[in-house]
Chains A and B, each alone.
Chain A
Amino acid sequence: MPSPVPPGPADDIEDRDPGLARERTDLAWTRTAIAFAALGAAMLRTNAVAGALVMVAGAAVWGLGQLSARDARAAGRRYRLDQRRTVQIITATTTLVSVVALVLVLLAPARGSR
């Protein structure tokens, strides 16, 4: 390098391979799906149906992440899938899960009659 170039975005590895950001996002999707599945597994003990549904939601979240990543890859690492829709689906799912959990907790006995 003959000219003194100060360290900047040109030295950022992301500039050479912006796909790393996509990959990190892909992994974040996987972690989120695992979190859903774990919550569903924890719910199984109280309500098997609700737990199974949340676990299915975890699988759906994983699929959504794959879809999102594949679309991003197909578009040359640019977003094409309507990201707002994806984000809205996840928000609705988590809010719904919190409502279900709230109902399950409120149905639990206050004193623990055994």
Chain B
Amino acid sequence: MAGDPSRPAAHPVAGNGKPAQPPSPAGRSHDSDGTGEGGTEPDARFTFANERTFLAWHRTALALIVAGLAIVQFLPPFPGIPFGRHLLAVPLIVLGGVLSVASYLEWTRHQRALRRGEPVGVSVLPRVLAIAITLLAVAAAVLSVLAPASGN
């Protein structure tokens, strides 16, 4: 137990500083997130935050997928460059699928760290996303320059 209530505990329980709210209600599962990781029940706020992060990654993945779809559906083909649109669209959609699975793994990792009171650590996903988007932006710029200005 954290002795000093004014200090942020390394692993606080729900209702920190509120004795009216019991930190661990009796008869309730201590594995409410279903991870089966053991440890102690994390603060509900941290569990919610982890879930929001997961959902935010999924919205990012969906945005990448919809961008890939839009490139093929709404963009006229680059004249003289067959599969030019596919060159941009396929990596975007694949990245969306990869982010979906990777963010699930991250959610699991974060939840385990929360249960054990360990540091959550740094995720590699932002770096992966930044590099991928930079590369795609370069590819898009190159395609735009290479394609003749006439279009259709």
CB <8 Å contact, A9 and B16: yes
Q: Which of B5-48 touch A at CB < 8 Å?
A: 5-8, 12, 14-18, 21, 25, 28-29, 32-35, 41, 44-45, 47-48
Q: When chains A and B are docked, how far (Å) is the Cα of A77 from the Cα of B104? A: 23
Chain A, interface size: which category? 35 or more
CB <8 Å contact, A105 and B90: yes
Chain B, interface size: which category? 35 or more
Q: Which residues of A contact B34 (CB under 8 A)?
A: 82-85
Q: Mark B residues whose CB is within 8 Å of A.
A: 5-8, 12, 14-18, 21, 25, 28-29, 32-35, 41, 44-45, 47-49, 51-52, 54-56, 58-59, 61-63, 65-66, 68-70, 72-73, 76-77, 82-83, 85-86, 89-90, 93-94, 96-97, 100-101, 103-104, 107-108, 111, 152
Closest 7 CB pairs of A and B: A98-B97, A112-B77, A84-B34, A82-B34, A94-B100, A91-B104, A79-B32
